[in-house]
Amino acid sequence: MEKICFSFELTEEQKKEKEKLCQQLLKKKHVKKWMIKHHVDESYLFAHSGKIYDWNHQIEKCDKCEGLAFCRQPIKGCYYDLEMDSFLQLVLTKCKYQKAVDEVYAHKKKYYMMDMPESYLLIDIKNLGFEEDCDYQYAVSKIVELLFEKDKKKGLYLYGRPGVGKSYMAAGITNYFAKANQSVAYINVPKLISDLKLLFQDHDQFEYKLKIMKEVDVLVFDDIGGENISTWSRDEILLPLLDKRMQAHKLTFFTSNYKIDELKEKWALVTNKSSDKMAVERLIDSVKAL
């Protein structure tokens, strides 16, 4: 294949304009640092003044930036850096503020399912305050005690009225294990049952969700007992899930508005068949075992 070289001669006026542009660029701090870093001289700057000018113009937007809330770039938290390999190219690069945010949320990649607000990823179990409420203090102490155990075999069942902080604590637990590089899932049970009903026609996705919940290292079942209870949700979804995790010795946590005895009564309300009563007993035993 024959190579074709396009070369256009600049007019004297164009050369003067380019020289003027280069002189302006030589005064720019970003350009001076870039030339030193890549060991290029003024002739290189002259040859690539257009691209270097565009790069400098956008990177100057980051000067004196006070954080992501003040970002002036088209893509928030990112700028185009100018790299030189065999040719000049603009490479999308994250700024220091975006990198700091990414580091704070780095453990999110260990969440295989997450039915909680993203802001909950910031909850640090080590910073849970001791409130005046004795029950809250007791719950926090039990969580801390469990985290210090070397061989963690059992989770916790956190119960209480709505709004006391059960879900908040549970999110702190999953964050702790996610930061320790363990796979986690935070499941809101009412949402889970509703979502699975919508997946009746998508068998692969249905089974995939169940597989995740059976296999992750640490699982939170949030608001168990708050779901629309049926024999299907109880006996075909929750019971096999808990049985599988119990057999595999997987760390499992629960939050609920109900004490375990109250949860048992709620699950037993579906029907009065003796077989159903046995299923409820098995389910409660699984919760207690976990």
148-193 pLDDT, tens digit per residue, is 888 888 999 999 998 888 999 999 999 999 999 999 999 999 999 9
DSSP character at residue 11: P
Domains within the chain, CATH numbers bracketed: 12-99 (no CATH), 108-289 (3.40.50.300)
Burial of 216 (0-12, 13-18, 19+ CB in 10 A): buried
Task: Please give the Cα distance from 267 to 161 (Å, whole number).
Answer: 18
163: number of CA atoms within 13 Å, CB side? 0
Where is pLDDT greater, at 25 or 271? 25
What is the per-residue pLDDT for 267? 87
281-287 long-range contacts (CB < 8 A, ≥24 apart) are 282/239, 282/243, 283/234, 283/235, 283/238, 283/239, 283/242, 284/260, 286/239, 286/242, 286/243, 286/246, 287/157, 287/224, 287/242, 287/254, 287/260, 287/263
Separation CA 117–CA 51 (nearest Å): 42
pLDDT band with cut points at 50, 70 and 90 for residue 7: low
Q: CA angle 28-37-47, nearest 5°?
A: 65
* Residue 272, pLDDT above cutoff 80: no
pLDDT in tens, 94-145: 999 999 999 999 999 999 999 999 999 999 887 776 566 778 888 888 888 8
Nearest Cα to 174, choosing from 218, 240, 236, 230?
A: 218
Distance between CA 150 and CA 136 in Å, rounded? Answer: 24
pLDDT digits 0-9 by tens, 58-75: 999 999 999 999 999 999
| Distance, CA of 158 to CA of 185 (rounded, Å) | 17
Give the pLDDT of residue 8: 62
Q: For 9, which DSSP code?
A: P
Distances (CA, A) of 149 to 41, 177, 271: 62, 13, 41
CA 121 to chain centre: 7
Q: Based on the number of CB atoms within 10 Å of its own CB, is 230 exposed (0-12), middle (13-18) or buried (19 or more)?
A: middle
For residue 107, what are its two tokens?
């453990």
Query: Under 8 Å CB-to-CB from 223, ≥6 apart: which residues?
Result: 167, 188, 189, 190, 255, 256, 257
Per-residue pLDDT at 131: 62
User: Does position 3 have pLDDT exceeding 80, yes or no?
Assistant: no
